[in-house]
Amino acid sequence: MPVRKRIVFYLLVFLLSTAFLPVAAAPAEPSALVKIASPAPAVSRLGGVVVQELHSCLLVCAPLPVLPRLRAAGVDFAVLAYPREGVHFFLLRSPLVLPLLSQGADIECRLLEDRIWLLWTADPGFRRYLAQPFRLKALALSGPLAPAAGEIPPAPAPEYEEYRSRPRAARALAKLTAQVSQERLRSDILTLQNFKTRYASTAQCEAAGDFILQRFRQIGLDAESDPFSFESYYQSKNIVAVIPGEIAPERMVLACAHYDSTSNNPLVSAPGADDNASGTAAILELARILAKEKFDFSIGLLCVSAEEWGLYGSAHYARQARRDGAEIIAVVNLDMIAYPGDRQRVLDVIGNRKSEWLADRFIAAAQPLVGLRLAKVIDPSLTWSDHSSFWDQGYAALCGIEDSDNPYYHRSSDTLATLDLPFAVEAVQASLAAVADLARPLNTPAAPTGLQARSQISMSLFSSLKTVYLNWQANREQGIGYHVYRADQSHGPALRLTAQPLAQTSFKDSFLSPAQEYFYVLTAVDEQGRESSYSQEVRDDENN
Ligand SMILES: [Zn+2]
């Protein structure tokens, strides 16, 4: 942990240990939680804070004096609740018509849109009144507020075109994905399942966190435990490891998964094999394979806890990252990647509107390497996993998740025996390729040297044609091949001329226009398919 982070962390621990902090602090001034049909661009300017963007509406927290201003501006809104101290607000996704088991519960809920409820309560034990299956996201109405949607600075997307014009190392990605081991995934899922339950707040969940920390350290990674408290009474920890980047280590691609679990009997039995030992095992597999490689940017590997309670671990991490100004380029969250359902072999890649570029890039990097189908889904209402905590902080994030309804979801029967491991292998391969591509694998062989070019123009009665002869020095490394690239202008976009790497150190480029000047560069390719950066450029007649 960097010193600054460490200080912040100890300060937080100090504050938490000296003062009893109710987590569900109400907004500082009397406010209303209102629902506004989206889009509503004026909300932030008029003093409202967007708490949650959904598919069809916005949830906005507005100090009471803001309400008349909204009305005057013609914004159509409905007041849902008046937040006060000690009342917790959640988004709840439930397929049921009413998500409550009994009428007596001190819980209020309102349907916001299809299957998405707003739920609020002062009862910390409210979960016992909810019918499984449900998915919760705790909403932050005060404290370190998320930047309002529309005011979020754009995610620091990598200079994609610049990268694409560099020689790609697609075969290097294939070499990485070939290392994904079904046996390791199986054994890690089994180990996690054997904790019996990983329900956050239990000792077994903490032990599972210790296991992950130990695994990261065995792999040789710098790993830390990141403790946090939630819902006033409980503690758990995220586990985070970093593979430092070689060129710009301050920029990070983050792969994450929650390791906690739940069920209809969570204190006793919650094996959570699909949800989400599968995603956790994927992160461990990414760590094992990627730790041996070098990348331009850092790769963060994050296993979070208390997701099932309301995304508390990821919210803690994402909020802290934003506060520290962390440059997280992209977040790839994996949650349930081993139950494809009957004959369906589809992995959904879920993003919000600001993360659509990331979903596209994930699919572009991964789809050529895997047999399962990657399906892009852009919907801000899909908030029930940890990617949504990163959306709240303005980061680009996506969730890789099986496109099926797992009948064992949130049950004691969610075990390894029900999983489809070959499907999980492909989901891990896809994620591995995308994360590696985003972090830019460093090109290991040295660029070729001594490139020379001569040109010759041959004339006939009807036409004249240019031929260019290239030669260069052989690289010292073993097993090196060469690719030749041509551009129409100096340092312009270069077209690769060689389908396969050349074994020899010369190349002839024929049937060219005598009226045009051409420029050439070379790359070296090693046996792993990793490509060097460009050699020095030559003009076609440089050595005439
Ligand atoms: Zn999950």
Ligand 1 center–CA 139 separation, angstroms? 18
pLDDT at 3: 47
Ligand 1 center–CA 382 separation, angstroms? 12
Ligand 1 center–CA 416 separation, angstroms? 15
CATH superfamily of 452-539: Immunoglobulins (2.60.40.10)
Ligand 1 center–CA 308 separation, angstroms? 7
pLDDT at 443: 56
Please state whether the peptide bond connecting residue 249 to the residue before it is cis, i.e. omega within 30 degrees of 0.
Answer: no
Ligand 1 center–CA 422 separation, angstroms? 20
Ligand 1 center–CA 276 separation, angstroms? 5
Scan for tokens 């990348």, then name that residue. Answer: 295
Ligand 1 center–CA 412 separation, angstroms? 14
User: What are the phi and psi torsion angles at 357 (to 5°)?
Assistant: -60, -35
Please state whether the peptide bond connecting residue 133 to the residue before it is cis, i.e. omega within 30 degrees of 0.
Answer: yes
Ligand 1 center–CA 261 separation, angstroms? 7
Ligand 1 center–CA 421 separation, angstroms? 17
Ligand 1 center–CA 258 separation, angstroms? 7
Alpha carbon 543 to chain centroid, angstroms: 49
Cα–Cα distance between 153 and 157 in angstroms, integer? Answer: 11
281 Cβ contact partners less than 8 Å away, ≥ 6 residues apart: 184, 185, 188, 189, 192, 424, 428
Ion ligand 1, residue ranges at CB < 5 A:
275-276, 335
- 400: amino acid identity, one letter: G
Q: Which CATH number fits domain 182-439: 3.40.50.300, 3.40.630.10, 3.20.20.70, 3.40.50.970?
A: 3.40.630.10
Ligand 1 center–CA 358 separation, angstroms? 21
pLDDT at 223: 98
Ligand 1 center–CA 80 separation, angstroms? 28
Ligand 1 center–CA 193 separation, angstroms? 14
Ligand 1 center–CA 275 separation, angstroms? 5
Ligand 1 center–CA 111 separation, angstroms? 22
Ligand 1 center–CA 83 separation, angstroms? 28
pLDDT at 221: 97
pTM of the predicted protein model = 0.76
Ligand 1 center–CA 58 separation, angstroms? 24
Ligand 1 center–CA 52 separation, angstroms? 20
Ligand 1 center–CA 410 separation, angstroms? 9
Provide the pairing of β-strand 464-471 with 506-512: antiparallel
Write out the two tokens for 82.
């008046």
pLDDT at 25: 55
Ligand 1 center–CA 385 separation, angstroms? 6
User: What are the phi and psi torsion angles at 220 (to 5°)?
Assistant: 100, 15
Ligand 1 center–CA 146 separation, angstroms? 23
Ligand 1 center–CA 321 separation, angstroms? 22
DSSP code for 501: -
pLDDT tens-place values along the chain, 544 residues long: 454 555 444 444 444 433 333 345 567 788 999 999 877 767 888 888 888 989 999 999 999 999 999 989 888 899 999 998 889 999 999 887 777 877 777 899 899 998 999 999 999 889 988 888 889 999 988 644 444 444 444 444 444 444 443 445 566 788 899 999 999 999 999 999 999 999 999 999 999 999 999 999 999 999 999 999 999 889 999 999 999 998 788 999 999 999 999 999 999 999 999 999 999 999 999 999 999 988 888 999 999 999 999 999 999 999 999 999 999 999 999 999 999 987 779 999 999 988 998 998 899 889 989 999 999 999 999 999 999 999 999 899 999 999 988 999 999 999 999 999 999 999 999 999 999 988 877 656 777 889 999 999 988 777 899 999 999 999 887 788 999 999 998 887 889 999 999 999 999 999 999 999 999 999 888 876 777 777 889 999 999 9
Report the 10 Å Cβ neighbour count for 451.
Answer: 24
pLDDT at 269: 97
pLDDT at 23: 44
Ligand 1 center–CA 415 separation, angstroms? 14
The answer to whether residues 227 and 119 touch, using CB atoms and an 8 Å cutoff, is: no
By C-alpha distance, which of 304, 214, 226, 197 is closest to 259?
Answer: 304
Ligand 1 center–CA 29 separation, angstroms? 35
Ligand 1 center–CA 336 separation, angstroms? 6
The order of strands in the sheet holding 397-402 is 222-230, 234-243, 297-304, 248-258, 327-334, 397-402, 346-351, 373-378
Cα–Cα distance between 246 and 464 in angstroms, integer? Answer: 48
pLDDT at 170: 64
The Cβ-side half-sphere exposure at 168, using a 13 Å CA radius, reads 17
Enumerate the domain spans of the chain. 23-138, 182-439, 452-539
pLDDT at 97: 77
Cα–Cα distance between 265 and 263 in angstroms, integer? Answer: 5
pLDDT at 163: 46
pLDDT at 444: 62
Ligand 1 center–CA 409 separation, angstroms? 9
Write out the two tokens for 428.
């891990």
Write out the two tokens for 389.
């905590």
Ligand 1 center–CA 47 separation, angstroms? 35
Scan for tokens 């440089």, then name that residue. Answer: 542
Using alpha carbons only, what angle is made at residue 415 by residues 413 and 419, rounded to the nearest 5 degrees? 120
Ligand 1 center–CA 22 separation, angstroms? 26
Ligand 1 center–CA 527 separation, angstroms? 39
Ligand 1 center–CA 476 separation, angstroms? 50
